[in-house]
Structure 1
């Protein structure tokens, strides 16, 4: 087997670095509370303002969203909401008497508080806001907090609109480990989350992993890892696009091409830099 290109990073060393950093941050936030969060927000986001998005600022952000973007967000929200409603109806409560005096049953009880994380560092993840907040609202969760990292002086306007439309009770302009910990511990007027949901980078995923047990989480998420196995009949452009679409998730999202055709491998290697130049995340690819 011959390598035309291979990664130099040590994934185990990177994982250890992330874990140690997140452990330190969570321990400090647990001990120092909101003061630690403010410190991390200044350090990582350059943020000095309020964390809770107020009505006036929220209205101003929503006003920045174009009518066409609002229409698209409303359409996506309607699809998720309709499915969530149907899904809820498919789960029924029941109560039966299996033997005289023996009653068994099932009750559907939503958690009291949910924390929804919406990535916003490299991209504004409107879809993440819709999919997490909408389903929690349909499930009947009484309190939903949503957090997204600020981009400059605010979170992305489209994300603010999606969060508001989906039904978030509190919107936090913060991200990363300190955003996850804020929702978990119920800081800045939030309520301690019973469950944390939503995607994020390696630090966000590790924060959720470390907090699991103290709070519920949706899943143990890891970086995207994708491999394509192809022979000489594969189209180089199609293969390159598939690789790039996964590699853009971040520097810790490796992709591989295994092929019996050196000609295909070299063609893909030529095409990928050209694709990257046309992508906003080309530096990552």
Structure 2
């Protein structure tokens, strides 16, 4: 391959990575994205009021209920609601976004518990956001691996960014790959549809140049022969890297890589990164 061709390929690789990076930042800084979260409120059978959301909230066997005061209104699935509103039973990792004026009130279930997590576009974390530091993209970190499905999905319990909370994922298989002459593997979780996979991991950069608790990598659906590409240039921070108001899962123990993955997003400036 000529030097000119190599330069052209690297330019195209970098441009594609920049598109991904900008999309990540846009989602994060959305007016009602994770940087806009102002509170993480855990519900139980007691009626509770919160300073950043309307009404009084509780949950029980029939799901989440809010009792709105006179003059208060939420818009749920495009429909204005007043008085008492029943959200019903919310599935694990599911949620409903209710609009309250310029804010969004997220009603969700995480780790078997119902939560209310308001999002206000004027939250200081969002308005002060200046972007996430990242390693320069390098094709050497786009590694070809092989996906090996388990005989049956394996229920895998992992910790969470919130102490005492646990998440359970049905891991469909693992990905084996080689990096710098070392044979490595990662347990994969279901991804965002279409056969995609999600890998949560730490490595030798975690807590040094990258966020200590976790990073995430989305993997396209495996080819017919099991081939996948692990492009660590796209290793991204989860919301807990920016805010304590997130319930992000931690990687399973076997996904703590003993190598330094000097690629992808670094420690956010909000956590002291540079």
How does the TM-score come out when normalised to structure 2? 0.20
Give the structure with the higher percent strand.
2
Larger radius of gyration: 1
Task: Pick the structure with more helix per residue.
Answer: 1
